[in-house]
Structure 1
Amino acid sequence: MGNTFNGNVNDTQANESANNIIKNNYWDAALKLDIDGDGVSELPHAADPYFMALVQRIPEYQLFFQHPGITLLKQVFNGPEDELLRDLEPSMVYASSENSQKNDKQIILWFVGVVFILVSFIFIQKWRRSL
């Protein structure tokens, strides 16, 4: 509950997980519609492992990953109904706490990078004069 699934090649894969409670997760691949403004989509999200099931049967099909033909097949033929993972109440809101932690790390990384560049220029100027 409350997880963020963003930028995944395949939304999910689960084995023997019928008792899992899947709700209020943010799925970037989900179709979302929030009519009442509560931050929860009225459209349930179903993660279909069609391509993964296909590759398990015929591993050579990995070559066709992201091919338009496979995308079309995935839309036309659904995976087995008992293998679909359903989030009946997907969240509309992307978890922003991860973004703020990422931004803090990026600022530190930029600062360290600038310091290294300045120190490098100082050493280059000092050694250039001595030669």
Structure 2
Amino acid sequence: MELIVADLDRAVELCCDVLGLTLLSRGPATLVPGEVATVDLGGLVLTLLCPAADGEGDFLADRSPRLSQLVLAVDGLEAVAELVRVAGRHGLVAQQTADDRCYLTPESVEGALGVPTAVVAVVIPADAQP
């Protein structure tokens, strides 16, 4: 799950210092300019993204705080391809961005959830699985 936040320090403070969750990592974001932290929720990982307002790179058009993504682990490459097929049959727009990942566009998910949230499916490498 990914939340876009306005103040990463406060978001980490809430999650870790107040709620007692474990900070897994914090550093520069890789896909858009900004900073990102990941927090262990037990069976889930929460990504807190604080996008930059200026600088180099491709910026998020909408930096307002919101639920940005639900990221799901899937079992293998065929599961990614199957999700693309099933989503299409249900009128949702899915884009496969690499062999090991795809996403349902925020605009198509908005019709189901009421908010524009991407649903990302990614294959977890075998060496990262429990």
- The answer to which structure has the higher strand fraction is 2
TM-score, length basis structure 2: 0.21
Q: Which has the larger radius of gyration?
A: 1
Bigger relative CO (Cα 8 Å, ≥ 6 apart): 1
